[in-house]
Amino acid sequence: MNNSDNSVFDDLRNGEAITSTHPGRAELRKSAYETIQLLLQMNSSADPLTIIKFLGQITGQKIDETVAVFPPLYINYGRHLSIGKNVFINFDCTFLTLGGIVIEDNVLIGPKVSLLSEGHPLAPTERSALVPGKIHIKKNAWIGANAIILPGVTIGENAVVAAGAVVSKNVDDNTVVAGIPAKFVKQI
């Protein structure tokens, strides 16, 4: 049950499902449109420092100058997104961040990768609820092109997610996973 002292964003960060009757539900859409406004400016830039500046405004954090983003990048709410140093994010990625996404140092993210830290229940009568699940990508991980990381997943240190994989379970350190759903391929 949500604490009336918390915002809808605090409730999501705390792992609570947000139903259609949550008193702060309207804030989700309002915030998304504010983020889209900043993304439009960021995604129209080819200057690395301008991109980093807008990404910092979106996340509410200082983004290290070693971070490189090739726009476009799509984010619905940046305040639950944390990006380490020397991170590379390739073209056309989508980050749904309401459940929280942590990207540690030296992570490589290929083009068209989707990091989805939120979803919905299967039951049609409950499907309008938003269910968060934090994503954590540890140091030196490499997420291949067009991979999808689902809510609640941790990608281990030095792990590789093959292109096109759909990751629904945690990935151990120093391993390669591939396929739909992603399965262990080999130890690194």
The answer to whether residue 120 is catalytic is yes
Per the structure block, which two tokens stand in for 185? 């391929």
Spatial distance between the Cα atoms of 87 and 99, rounded to a whole number of angstroms: 20
Q: For residue 99, give the nearest of 129, 131, 68, 71 by alpha carbon.
A: 131
92: Cβ–Cβ under 8 A, 6 or more apart, which residues?
72, 73, 111, 112
Coarse DSSP helix, strand, coil percentages of the chain, rounded to the nearest 5 percent: 20, 25, 50
Enzyme catalytic residues: 120
